[in-house]
Structure 1
């Protein structure tokens, strides 16, 4: 099942190597975060930067906010007057169109097409649903996943930019006590026809589908697991045959045991970092411009220059989410009390 993925990754590896040898830039490491002044105090776990200038975020109290000038000024509001709903997932297409997804009840998906002025409900799941994250494979096709219901993961698909949503035909089985995390809405990854999903709880697994969810494989992860606060919280793909996962135990913010892992796709095995991040990490993103992997969590932010094998703390500033702009030119982070930052280097 991994033949297609391996072939694509060999190409990616070659491109990655060429880029590394191109001599691009002289920057060696990030130096911290440039803090932005935002007009909200919400906990912001939804984050979707489109370019260096266009950034969307969402979070508690039904909050959404947007900047069109690189974080200098912001517009904001409440999604459809739902001021008690936590919108932990967001995906923005451009300055006008974005999708938000709630965590908890009601389990709803909303879309705006006028820059946030109005929001229209596009989908609602039953009362036993809890939605955890969102990922788009291309401009039209995206996925939202949620905790297991009746023993199977909830995975919704859209093929028309979020206008319509439906469950995929083959929902993978979950183990007893297994769940997802909505801490950064980034433990689901859609890459072309492939889907990757990281879990936690009584067991932490990495799920993989090569064909848009028609068939599935899974591998037990090497991250912390065994109770509801532990597992994989975020995953990213660095283009050299690896999936990088971060997480740990959110009740132990500075614990370094079992907070990161590297899954070698061709070998189908996990590697433990030699030097792990400096604590529980809720989010991870790959910054291809400098070949850095950036991880963040409540106790600080780390980076890796070798694909997640060794991590270095570069800031004590903690965030919930981290994301690369769709255009690839910037890394943004969002967190508690309306905090948003841009990576400085």
Structure 2
């Protein structure tokens, strides 16, 4: 009887601690917007609506099958946007290159109400890559170095004003270390934390646990040393568990040192599926509701899926995308060259 009790207790413990695998066998891809644009920044609202920011100065809301578009000019220049983020009252878009210009677009839940410039920066080296919000008041955007640290700007008032952090308060970068504006996903947010992924000369993770007040930097085993190598995307499930993905943009099939996970908040990283498919990918996300077991990574070579936390992967499609953002546990939006599509993952 005592043996039976111990056995039952052990089985109960195993069942509570085990993480069931999730399985997707296919993905249905439905285009929702087609235009002559490079679209690397998307922000879904629900299964039918998604904001995007692109080149040629174009920003828009795809509402079902209705595109609501705007063209933003800075003086006589059509800006190229690769960063987007939202709060309950506004959407924010940030341009790459010089000058960097950040706009706040008022949104009443159905329509854009106004467009306002809230930050600009002129420097021959300025190049912003990604933007996220912790909450409706506090947000962060990151960019390539203009001095000896990554460029980091922060808002504490709902995006009305932004301040650039001094290099005195940030980790120093090595020459040739920067970030990739590939998918608006080299910042991950959870709680008060933010993780920033770098690439090029070094592939590292910058981490703040207090919304940008203090910073640490951690090494990773991701391929690095060349201009187009490094981490292209980072996502975190909680304060401890995260994933990074990237590789070598100039050798997209190369699949060594391009994907890793952490279980200690980014301090240490372990390569996953090393030397196995997939190779280069520009955006990786945990599948909601799968307790960290489901992962989807997209890039120009296609869509890849793991149902066991990244140990094993399979190709779901060779249709290429730059970025992916999930709406729920089976629906996501993805953006790429000349299109935005809705992705429905199926078991």
Could you say whether these structures have the same fold, taking a TM-score greater than 0.5 normalized by the shorter chain as the test?
A: yes
Give the corresponding residue for 1:11. none
Normalized per residue, the structure richer in strand is 2
Match of 2:33 in 1: 38
Distance 1:285 1:27 in 2: 14
Q: Would you say the 8 A contact 1:234–1:283 is kept in 2?
A: yes
Cα deviation code 1:205-252 (max 9, x no counterpart): 111122222322222211111111010011001238321001111112
| Matching residue of 2:7 | none
Give the match for residue 86 of structure 1.
80
Structure 2 residues not aligned, in runs of 5+: 1-12
Relative to the length of structure 2, the TM-score reads: 0.85
Deviates further, 196-205 or 276-285: 276-285
Pairing partner for 1:320 from 303, 319, 322:
322
Q: Which of 35, 53, 57 is the equivalent residue of 1:62?
A: 57
- Per-residue CA deviation, residues 279-324 of structure 1 (Å, 9 max, x unaligned), is 2100011122344211100001111122223222111111001112
1:142 maps to 2:139: yes
CA RMSD of superposed structures (Å): 2.5
Choose from 154, 159, 169 the match for 2:156: 159
Is contact 1:61-1:86 (8 Å) kept?
Answer: yes
CA contact (8 A) 1:238 1:307 kept: no
Question: Is the 8 Å Cα contact of residues 218 and 266 (structure 2) preserved in structure 1?
Answer: no
> 26-35 or 329-338, which moves further after superposition?
26-35
Q: What is the CA-CA distance between 1:328 and the residue it aligns to?
A: 6.7
- Aligned residue in 2 for 1:3: none
- 2:31 touches 2:339 (CA, 8 Å); kept in 1? no
Q: Is the 8 A contact 1:143 1:190 kept in 2?
A: no
Do the aligned partners of residues 89 and 328 (structure 1) sit closer, same or farther apart at CA in structure 2, a change above 3 Å counting?
farther
Partner of 2:92: 99
TM-score by structure 1 length? 0.85
SS in 1 for 2:142: strand
Task: Note if contact 2:72-2:78 (Cα within 8 Å) is conserved in structure 1.
Answer: no
Q: Is the 8 A contact 2:51 2:61 kept in 1?
A: yes
Q: Is the 8 A contact 2:230 2:246 kept in 1?
A: yes
Contact 2:231 2:247 in 1 (8 A): yes
Mapped contact 1:246–1:284 kept (Cα < 8 A): yes
Is 1:120–2:116 an aligned residue pair? yes
